[in-house]
């Protein structure tokens, strides 16, 4: 393991020049930080997603492009418009124009991913210059050379061995010379076509690079002072957690704590890399350290909420005493690369929940999957649910742990209840319009 730290800065942290300067100071203050991963500036990826997925007139497209250009131009101006940076930014603007107006953009997932990659490619270019202007030698590096994935555009699956190979070959030799600034979220497949890792994927990039470079720590700098007992946007009673275990953090990320991309903890766990989460605006306030073991293992650590869940119930009398039926259902689900979260079964039916954020790759996969399932059995699809999860420790093994949770939720209709397959979570499917209240009431009972 190397004395190396990877620092990742999210969208709000690199939203403008002043925010980028805060980040640059954080980088400069830790000599162990040799790799920096940046997101696109706040709002840019949303605009790019809109351009990639929405039917628009030429004028509407130009309006969205202008929103992006205004953000980037303002940063460039604050940097004093150095010619080299301006020229490179201009080339990216041209690519942005070309792709946004491309007649096949709405149909071609491969083109969409090139378009989506432009946000991170612009912010990393500008952030390298911010570092250089603060006398910190920095180089902008194309993440696509290292983050190798399969060819699932929009949701590329990283190839861990190839990433390690490329990182050792291309990144390691550079680290003594300069701080390497690279793009989160962006990768490429084996034929070097641009791919992306799914929304929020920059955290995952940072963890993958930390793993590939044998780093000791990985810092996720964002707009909150750590991982909280629940999303501070749901209740102002949420408070930051000084420590979390890998297992707890993985559950939180999986079950909707947006502060960490769902897969972030996977590389960290494999290589025992400690992960820090803190605020780039207020680094002095500290944050959350996520490590293999924690000092304390409370029954209740946090509450998460994941929106936009669909519940799919498959039903057929053929299931009665028919071994192998479940495997047929899950074979279809596996074929479409869908991950199921909660599952309950009865004599002739199986209900499961899947993630379904609007406009996502998932949403499309789900539609195709449901069609396939219909060939096998009756399928009922229910929308409008959120998944609320309590994350903690030893939740199965001690009396009273779950009853306290149920007492707090007695006024709510719980559509589905699942004890996790491990002792770290308990999840409920609730009506989407009630989930704020459910989280607040649970938080009050368990943490206030």
Question: How many DSSP H helices and E strands does the chain contain?
Answer: 13, 16
Window contacting ligand ASP (CB under 6 A); options: 64-72, 195-203, 316-324, 432-440: 195-203
Instruction: Find the part of the chain contacting ligand ASP (CB under 6 A) among 38-46, 343-351, 377-385, 398-406.
Output: 38-46
Specify whether the CB–CB gap between 179 and 236 falls below 8 A: no
Residue 112 CA from chain centroid, whole number? 18
Question: What are the DSSP E strand ranges found in 10-56?
Answer: 33-38
How is residue 351 written in tokens? 């209900």
Site string for ligand ASP, 84-123 (x = CB under 6 A): -----------------------------------x----
Q: Are 414 and 381 in contact (CB under 8 A)?
A: no
Among 258, 306, 336, 443, which residue sits at the site for ligand ADP (rule: CB under 6 A)? 258
Total binding residues toward ligand ASP, as defined by CB under 6 A: 12
Minimum distance of Mg ion from residue 436's CB (angstroms): 21
Q: Give the strand pairing for 302-315 and 349-355.
A: antiparallel
Q: How far is CA 428 from the centre of its chain?
A: 22
What is the token pair recorded at 301?
A: 């650590």
Q: Considering beta carbons, is residue 118 or 388 the nearer one to ligand ASP?
A: 118
SS3 assignment, position 186 = strand
Contact yes or no for 89/72 (Cβ under 8 A) = yes
Among 187, 200, 226, 392, binds ligand ASP (CB under 6 A): 200
| CA 175-178-180 angle, 5° bins | 70
**Within 90-149, which residues bind ligand ADP (CB under 6 A)?**
none
Query: Cα(404)–Cα(298) distance, rounded to whole angstroms?
Result: 14
- Residue 14 Cβ vs ligand ADP, minimum distance, rounded to whole Å: 9
Alpha-carbon distance of 201 to 385, in angstroms, equals 24
Residue 182 touching ligand ASP (CB under 6 A): no
- Rounded to whole angstroms, how far apart are CA atoms 287 and 441? 25
Q: Which of residues 193-212 bind ligand ADP (CB under 6 A)?
A: 200
226 binds ligand ASP (CB under 6 A): no
- Considering only residues 200 to 239 of the shown chain, the ones binding Mg ion according to CB under 5 A are 200
CB of residue 56 vs ligand ADP: minimum separation in angstroms? 25
Cβ nearer to Mg ion, comparing 10 with 423 = 10
Task: Rank residues 144 and 258 by Cβ distance to ligand ADP and give the closer one.
Answer: 258
Residues near ligand ADP (CB under 6 A) are 10-13, 39, 200, 222-224, 227-228, 230-233, 257-259, 302
Residues near ligand ASP (CB under 6 A) are 10-11, 39-40, 45, 119, 184-185, 199-202
């Amino acid at each position: 393991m190397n004395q190396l730290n990877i620092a990742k800065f999210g969208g709000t942290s690199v939203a403008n020049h002043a925010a980028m300067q805060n980040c640059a100071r954080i980088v400069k203050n830790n000599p162990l930080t040799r790799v920096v991963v940046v997101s696109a500036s706040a709002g840019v990826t949303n605009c790019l997603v809109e351009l990639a997925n929405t039917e628009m007139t030429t004028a509407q497209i130009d309006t969205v492009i202008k929103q992006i250009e205004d953000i980037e131009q303002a940063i460039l101006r604050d940097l004093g418009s150095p010619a080299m940076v301006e020229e490179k930014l201009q080339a990216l603007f041209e690519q942005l124009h070309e792709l946004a107006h491309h007649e096949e953009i709405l149909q071609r997932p491969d083109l969409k991913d090139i378009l989506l990659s432009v946000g991170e490619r612009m912010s990393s270019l500008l952030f390298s210059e911010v570092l250089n202007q603060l006398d910190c030698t920095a180089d902008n590096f194309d993440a696509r050379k290292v983050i190798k994935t399969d060819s699932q555009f929009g949701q590329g699956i990283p190839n861990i061995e190839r990433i390690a190979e490329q990182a050792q070959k291309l990144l390691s030799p550079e680290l003594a010379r300069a701080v390497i600034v690279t793009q989160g979220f962006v990768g490429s497949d084996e034929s070097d076509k641009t791919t992306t890792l799914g929304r929020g994927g920059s955290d995952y990039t940072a963890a993958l690079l930390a793993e590939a470079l044998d780093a000791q720590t990985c810092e996720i700098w964002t707009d909150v002072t750590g991982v909280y007992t629940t999303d501070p946007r749901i209740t102002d009673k949420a408070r930051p957690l000084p420590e979390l275990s890998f297992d707890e953090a993985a559950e939180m990320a999986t079950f909707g704590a947006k502060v960490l991309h769902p897969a972030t903890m996977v590389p960290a766990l494999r290589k025992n890399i400690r992960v820090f989460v803190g605020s780039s605006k207020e680094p002095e306030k500290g944050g959350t350290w996520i490590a293999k073991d924690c000092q304390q293992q409370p029954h209740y650590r946090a509450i998460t909420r994941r929106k936009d869940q669909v519940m799919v119930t498959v039903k057929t009398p053929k299931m009665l005493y028919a071994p192998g039926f479940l495997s047929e259902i899950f074979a279809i689900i596996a074929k479409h690369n869908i991950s199921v979260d909660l599952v309950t079964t009865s004599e002739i039916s199986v209900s499961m929940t899947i993630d379904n954020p609007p406009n996502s790759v998932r949403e499309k996969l789900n539609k195709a999957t449901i069609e396939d399932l219909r060939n096998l059995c009756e399928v009922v699809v229910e929308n409008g649910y959120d998944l609320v999860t309590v994350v903690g420790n030893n939740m199965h093994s001690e009396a009273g742990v779950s009853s306290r949770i149920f007492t707090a939720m007695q006024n709510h209709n719980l559509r589905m209840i699942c004890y996790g397959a491990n002792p770290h979570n308990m999840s409920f499917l609730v009506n989407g319009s009630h989930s704020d209240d459910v989280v607040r009431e649970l938080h009050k009972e368990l943490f206030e």
